[in-house]
Structure 1
């Protein structure tokens, strides 16, 4: 479980998070949704220990995240940020292998190589494994970055808008893969993901935390949160929630 209590965060004199508290149970996908400036990415960075809040605490599996040594924190949570610095001369395989760094600290072994190949296979990147990053599309690079954080082998993955630059086919494919990989069973992970695509949250998320103005407006099972009333309150526009092929479809009026 990730728990956070009374989190506040300021930047440039502006209050980004204000007295935010909640718990995220292990297992499945938890989506953070809300309008631009709601504080979603800032909260995600606080959960990863990259942001130091002005007040409040974050605990990952009972351990205070800011008190963990860097190596232990990197073995507990893996973060995919929106902006990643990429060295174009790397191959896809080399990029994904960087996810193993917290474990081998510069001395990769057979297990690190095995898990790198497993991450490439999991995200359908083996055909691209030897390609240089500068030869890839933006969407292909995004998949490679998700594979890199997956290779980190942490129980928690924190993904900041991973659907950016992905066309509908690959966006659906990525969310489907994450959904399958977070189902109960051996090796299952827990994912917290910032999404602007409300329908992706409606289709794939088990839980939703809806944010507005630096606060949590509502949280709970996705079906309970993705309702016309809650969505209208956080986005300030009217919505219909329909059903198609057994799945919810959210439509802004």
Structure 2
């Protein structure tokens, strides 16, 4: 499990993550939602040790992320940031192979190649393995980056707004892949999402943030409620259902 205890992060006098304590159990898909500026991406970066904390601790299965050696942490936890653009001209296969660096340090073994091929197959990228990233559509490129993260073969996968720049069809496909990875591969997936309906349909748990704090956390049924969402987003929201699945609508 991932545990944050009294975690805070400030830029100057602006507190962007404010004394956050929460527990994300192993398994399933957890979505972090909330308005712009709520601290979602910053909290995810603190969990992954991409940013230093001003206060507090983060542990992953009992390992303090600030004290654990890089290689050991990278075999337990992986992250895909929003700004995943690369200046180097790489093929899809080259990119996915980077996921094995914590294990082989660039000297790919036979075992590494098995993981690479498995990740390419899982994201249905085998026909594109030899294509350069700048030759791909946005959806294909995003799948390649997710394949790289899955190739790293960590128990915990953190994704910062993985649906950015994806149309509805590709966003739905990405969420289905991530949800499936929690079931078939045993991954614990934690992601920042802006679309509360994708969070409602595919999440096992939701963490709702506002103004740097965890406003609420719990099951989809607990969080996807008109009163709760209205408080988080400061607007009037209604909930409808398609079968058993909730759909959030807002009013002007």
TM interval, short-chain normalised: over 0.9
Secondary structure of the corresponding residue to residue 86 of structure 1? coil
Runs of at least 5 residues in structure 2 that lack an aligned partner in the other structure: none
Structure 2 residue aligned with 1:153 = 153
Structure 2 residue aligned with 1:195 = 193
Structure 2 residue aligned with 1:247 = 245
Structure 1 residue aligned with 2:33 = 33
Structure 2 residue aligned with 1:49 = 49
1:92-241 → structure 2 map (5 Å cutoff): 92-183=92-183, 187-241=185-239
TM-score (ref. length: structure 1)? 0.96
Give 1:196 shift.
Answer: 0.3
Give 1:5 shift.
Answer: 0.7
Give 1:232 shift.
Answer: 0.3
TM-score (ref. length: structure 2)? 0.97
Output one character per residue of 1:190-215: Cα deviation in whole Å (capped at 9) or x when no partner: 00000001000000000000000000
Structure 2 residue aligned with 1:10 = 10
Structure 1 residue aligned with 2:70 = 70
Partner Cα separation in structure 2 for residue 105 and residue 28 of structure 1: 30
Q: Provide runs of 4+ in structure 1 moved above 4 Å.
A: none
Partner Cα separation in structure 2 for residue 136 and residue 113 of structure 1: 23
Output one character per residue of 1:138-181: Cα deviation in whole Å (capped at 9) or x when no partner: 22211111111111100000000000121211111111111112
Partner Cα separation in structure 1 for residue 88 and residue 244 of structure 2: 42
Runs of at least 5 residues in structure 1 that lack an aligned partner in the other structure: none
